[in-house]
Structure 1
Amino acid sequence: MSSGTVQRRARSGPASALVRAVEWYFGTIFGVHEGPGVLPYYCDPAKVGAFALSRGELASGNEAAMFRLFVALSMFQGLRDVVIMKRQRALAAGRVASIASVAGLRRAVAENDCPALGSVTAFDEGCDVAKDGESVDCGHRPGARCHVKLATAAFKRMGDMGKLPTSAWLHFWRSGGLRGVLVEVLQQEPLPAKRAVVLVERLARVHRVGRKLATMFVSALSTPALAPELTPWFPAVDGNELVVIDTNVARAVDVLRKPGAPRTYDARERWLREQAARLDLRQFHPEVPSYSPRLVQQALYAFCSKSNRAARGDACAGAESPCTGCALELCPFGVAGR
């Protein structure tokens, strides 16, 4: 089947708005704001402050850098990206080090005699750090200085969010980092795409991370179209079939599917994969994989994120009325955004 046939079929089917969003993405965002020739946002100090990784440490898969990236990406939950990045930029380098440094966490845990730090299970289930207004404390050692409390205050989020870095360290980096986990998965699973799924499942066990955030992390290291030459796990691990279902993507999928379709992560992910299989993405850009649910999902995310588009100076953000050549069903400045 030719790419032209695929394109005509997609345009005439129920997912024609999806195709227009993908066209918009490759014509407006890809290669301009992300992808080829663009520094990933998690490597850009102007966007994420002291959390930013250098190209060298990311490309090499440096364990300390992997930990910092894991913490940085895990902060993107429950709030708009522009808000999270603003908070990341506001944190001084020393504060970031106290939150996202492997060596710093090792020292902090060693110096803390709290019983909740005795094991992964004891910590994830037993640490009761909580935030009450501007006050952060716990029931185990009320009033005592603690790196988990400091992390909670730095994140400016709910109490258990401050547990995330320590949970990640206890799960993986205490025993050497992710290299051992990666080697184990490579030995057990022969398919690169399946390896990505297995790694997501393992990383999702970290407290407050879950499937979406773990997918963001694995994808960042294994989807080269989004960060050429900066994906150290590819091609042994292939993230092109991963799908990140955030609020924007979930709403878009629900608009495009038949009424009454299940509103679960699995169902939305499955639908996106089915739609991606109908497209040959090389008709939009010659240097991307022909099949990549991750890129299709990224197109939806970029198209539907009103705050991110406005921050980039998108012309539609200041338009008095929506254009007529776009995917109006999904447009955050048109019908969908009202």
Structure 2
Amino acid sequence: MEEPLRGTVRWYLGRREEQATPFYCDPERIGAFAVAPEELAAGTDAAVFRLFVTLSMYQALRDVVITRQQRSLPRASMRVVADVAFLKQSISQHQCPTLSSVEAFEESCDVTKTRERVDCGQCPGVACHVKEATVVFNRMGDMGKLPTSAWLRLWNGGGVGTLLKRVCQDELSPTKRAALLVEHFAGVHRVGRKLATMFVSALSTPALAPGLTPWFPAVDGNELVVVDTNVARAVDALCEPGMSRTYDTRERWVREQATKIDLREFRPDLPRYSPRLVQEALYAFCSKSNRVALGDACAERTTPCSGCASVLCPFAASMEGADAVAS
């Protein structure tokens, strides 16, 4: 079913011009978590760390819920979870033995959240940045470990630039470099493959955010595919009956379909082949709550639409509910 996919890509590219700034650089959408475009373009450690934590918050809840939370948090709260300098200082000044290494931290840090109470067994009653992060995230207790895990794994001892340099030395292919980086970032506590792919591709896929992808062309994220619930449901609706419904098979399906769509037909400045852009089109089209939040005219329709890709339309009864975010 190539036509619905083409219709989705056409719809997406026709609306991208209206949103030139990616949401993660827009303070009106995510408040203090927004990364300054000039810092992101330069690829500074501080900007990349803030982007990583900001995107890692988008798990298990709808995007509109997370953006509302980020927008409501003051700068002081953002610093607790997404300011790399603040985190480095907090770790160096704390005496908790779990902070001695990433292994000790991820195995022994036992911060928990019980209703409104956040504490741990290692240093009960003692304030720390992990407990503060848990309060800021206001989710399950162990999510507060995410920023510290990221710093200990990837930013400690030279920053992410060191990792990037090593990957570029070890692997010659820019697309394979992107896949290797996804593996590294997916290892951070409570991140995983989907969020790591979203992060790496944000830094290495110019078609998504022109001028704001400092890792490209050394790292090329065009072949990466983020499979969230919206994309999974879209693939399942378009693929051949009986296809296995796993992350890998859905990812492979998007890549295969992307080979059949020359994106230059829609706009000459785009690459010929970009599964990531095709996948983003599916995500943007199928996310009902995001489209409503952005004032999409289709949300106000009272009769079925004959255009775009009706088989995937989130406002059609057949696709209702395709809006939860997979972790």
Mark yes or no: TM-score above 0.5: yes
Structure 2 residue 246 is matched with structure 1 residue 264: yes
Q: What SS class does the counterpart of residue 183 from structure 1 fall into?
A: helix
Distance 2:33 2:289 in 1: 22
After TM superposition, give the deviation of residue 195 of structure 1 in Å.
Answer: 0.8
Aligned with residue 169 of structure 1, among 123, 147, 151: 151
User: In structure 1, what is the equivalent of residue 17 of structure 2?
Assistant: 31
Residue pair 1:281, 1:288 contacting (<8 A) in 2 also: yes
After TM superposition, give the deviation of residue 297 of structure 1 in Å.
Answer: 0.1
Aligned with residue 173 of structure 2, among 182, 186, 191: 191
Aligned with residue 316 of structure 1, among 298, 303, 314: 298
Aligned with residue 209 of structure 1, among 183, 191, 201: 191
**What does 1:74-93 correspond to in 2, within 5 Å?**
74-93=56-75
Residue pair 1:59, 1:231 contacting (<8 A) in 2 also: yes
What TM-score comes out, normalization by structure 1 length?
0.92
User: In structure 2, what is the equivalent of residue 64 of structure 1?
Assistant: 46
Cα deviation per residue 1:216-273 (whole Å; 9 max; x = unaligned)?
A: 1111111111111111111111111110111110111111112322121111100000
Q: Structure 1 unaligned runs (5+)?
A: 1-13
**What does 1:48-59 correspond to in 2, within 5 Å?**
48-59=30-41
After TM superposition, give the deviation of residue 16 of structure 1 in Å.
Answer: 2.4
**What does 1:151-166 correspond to in 2, within 5 Å?**
151-166=133-148
User: In structure 2, what is the equivalent of residue 150 of structure 1?
Assistant: 132
Residue pair 1:44, 1:52 contacting (<8 A) in 2 also: yes
Distance 2:175 2:140 in 1: 34
After TM superposition, give the deviation of residue 332 of structure 1 in Å.
Answer: 0.5
In the alignment of these two chains, the number of paired residues is 320
Letter aligned with residue 142 of structure 2: D
After TM superposition, give the deviation of residue 321 of structure 1 in Å.
Answer: 2.1
Q: What SS class does the counterpart of residue 136 from structure 1 fall into?
A: strand
Cα deviation per residue 1:85-125 (whole Å; 9 max; x = unaligned)?
A: 11111111111112111221112112222222121011112
Letter aligned with residue 176 of structure 2: K
User: In structure 2, what is the equivalent of residue 8 of structure 1?
Assistant: none
- Which deviates more, 122-131 or 219-228? 122-131
Structure 1 consecutive aligned stretches of length 4 or more whose deviation exceeds 2 Å? 335-338
Aligned with residue 225 of structure 1, among 202, 207, 217: 207
User: In structure 1, what is the equivalent of residue 323 of structure 2?
Assistant: none
Distance 2:296 2:304 in 1: 12
Residue pair 1:321, 1:334 contacting (<8 A) in 2 also: no
Residue pair 1:168, 1:206 contacting (<8 A) in 2 also: yes
User: In structure 1, what is the equivalent of residue 79 of structure 2?
Assistant: 97
What TM-score comes out, normalization by structure 2 length?
0.95
Letter aligned with residue 95 of structure 2: D
After TM superposition, give the deviation of residue 337 of structure 1 in Å.
Answer: 3.2
Structure 2 residue 322 is matched with structure 1 residue 336: no
Distance 1:176 1:213 in 2: 23
Distance 1:103 1:55 in 2: 19
What percentage of residue pairs aligned between the two structures are identical? 62
Letter aligned with residue 2 of structure 2: A
Cα deviation per residue 1:128-156 (whole Å; 9 max; x = unaligned)?
A: 21211122122222222121111011011
Letter aligned with residue 173 of structure 1: W
**What does 1:100-115 correspond to in 2, within 5 Å?**
100-115=82-97
Distance 2:82 2:10 in 1: 37
Residue pair 1:17, 1:330 contacting (<8 A) in 2 also: yes
After TM superposition, give the deviation of residue 53 of structure 1 in Å.
Answer: 1.4
